[in-house]
Amino acid sequence: MSLFDDLSFSKIGEILTYNPSEPMLFSSGLFFFLFCFFAVFYIALRKHTLARIVYVTLFSLYFYYKSSGLWFGLLVFTATSDFLIARIMELMDTRWKKKLLVTLSLCINLGMLSYFKYTNFLIDIGNAFLREIGILFSYEPWMALESVHYDIFLPVGISFFTFQSISYVIDVYRGRITPLHRWIDYVFYVSFFPQLVAGPIVRARDFIPQIYRNPVVTREEFGEGLFLIICGLFKKCVISDYISLNFVDRVFDAPTLYTGVENLLGVYGYTLQIYCDFSGYSDMAIGIALLLGFRFNINFDSPYQSATITEFWRRWHISLSSWLKDYLYISLGGNRKGKWRTYLNLMLTMLLGGLWHGASVRFILWGALHGVALAIHKAVMAAFPSFKKVGEEMVPWRRVVGVLFTFHIVAFGWIFFRAESMEKACEMLSQIVTNFHPEVFTQFVVGYKGVFTLMVLGYLFHFVPKRWENYLQQGVTQAPLVVQATLLALAILVVVQFKSAGVQPFIYFQF
């Protein structure tokens, strides 16, 4: 074997093994080639159910290995423990025994999640508490305590697959589904690669029946899947990455170096960036799953068109908001125990939703803001029945005002969500309030032509009527295969032109 061959195999080995700096992304060339190779054997196995399940599961585990290395074993452990708990639950004849098993599942999943995501946060809280006690009682050992941060690796998407697994166990307990009898089927459900690392969170009762059907993809479904993938690539690789690297990140990293108007535009930029980044991933995940014969529910529905904060949470990250509603809000009592308990349940649900996103006071404040806004909106609807009207039922001027108000409430919350610290968030707000300088806007337009153009295009595309999007999707769906292939090639060409030098992971990989 020649040196050239040695180098070739060595390079291939490096590409196919886990690299922490280059996680597997839907928008990468490596995924495109691997998926094409995967699809050939997937099609060949479409009539062999068990072989297809094993094959997809192995590819999914490899996909997760390329995202988190050997931590794919954690995914297998989660799937195995909840599969066994559900199977044992089926054998139990009393409700209290089943409750114990649900509690066991929650302890395993939430305990694991707490360790990886919240250990350092809890240590900081404990040390701060002990320092205050030490100051109060003049106890120097506690007064001198310093925060110690452990270097704990956060497996990609751990929050998504644990929540998905928890929902399965709870649904078995509630009698909504019967437990699976084959371990490999459950691992397939938990690890299915399109939605594995950043959602959407797929319910077992929606997904599992599709496992056993032969994956037949109609022409309409193929066109729809292709349309979603192209949209996702454009949102993520063109709009989100470009405005992030060339403007938004700079402003959030050093707010005091920019005027108030630039800080405000940075907030508007991040508001668009996080939507394009996350909905772009969801579009690609749903599109790829559709090409494999699986249909997921929509995860984003033009959320910034919402006229109320309640409507926003019906349109934003729908799989998470519905999960929080079904498994947390309703479990706390929902709206069945009086209005004040309803407001409290909303606050607790959103506080925990904020904490789910990250172990930081910033995320708790973000959750609290949305909890308060939801409670206020519910109180207003109770006091003024006309406010219950939604969508086309609303008076046009009221809807316009509602959209503008809701958008800015959401954008205000994104400041805390994105800022690296509370200090940075306060600096940004201070610049916007005290150092605005609107005359700088024209300089921004001239100096950041590309960023400004993409921001305008991004918001225009977001606010177009839904029927326009449906017409465009229908046009792609009904186009000849040659035209569809040309559109995909053009999308890839545009992505390559906008591609940055470094890998830009999806924002929600960190959750």
Q: Which residues are catalytic?
A: 357
Q: Residue 385: how many CB atoms within 10 A of its CB? A: 8
Residue 318 and residue 297 in contact, taking contact as beta carbons nearer than 8 Å:
yes
Q: What is the DSSP string of 255-269?
A: GGGS-HHHHHHHHHH
Q: Which of 151, 74, 144 has its CA nearest to residue 120?
A: 151
**Sequence-distant (≥ 6) Cβ neighbours of residue 173 within 8 angstroms:** 89, 98, 99, 101, 102
The rounded distance, in Å, linking the Cα atoms of 242 and 488 is 20
**Sequence-distant (≥ 6) Cβ neighbours of residue 230 within 8 angstroms:** 476, 487, 488, 491
The whole-angstrom distance between residue 139's C-alpha and the CA centroid of its chain comes to 45
The pair phi, psi for residue 19, each rounded to 5°, is -130, 110
The rounded distance, in Å, linking the Cα atoms of 19 and 15 is 8
Residue spans of alpha helices (H) in 17-71: 29-44, 49-68
E strand or H helix at 218, and its extent?
none
Q: Which residues of 102-122 are buried (b: 16+ CB within 10 A; e: fewer)?
A: bebbeebbeebbeebbbeebe
The pair of three-digit structure tokens given for residue 166, joined into one six-digit string: 């928890």
The rounded distance, in Å, linking the Cα atoms of 49 and 209 is 12
**Single-letter amino acid code for the residue at 498:** F
Residue 199 and residue 289 in contact, taking contact as beta carbons nearer than 8 Å:
no
E strand or H helix at 151, and its extent?
none
Helix (H, G, I), strand (E, B) or coil at 217: coil
Q: What is the DSSP string of 415-465?
A: HHHHSSSHHHHHHHHHHHHH---TTHHHHHHHHTHHHHHHHHHHHHHHHS-
Q: Which of 330, 368, 323, 331 has its CA nearest to residue 350?
A: 368
The whole-angstrom distance between residue 381's C-alpha and the CA centroid of its chain comes to 29
E strand or H helix at 487, and its extent?
helix 481-498
Residue 42 and residue 292 in contact, taking contact as beta carbons nearer than 8 Å:
yes
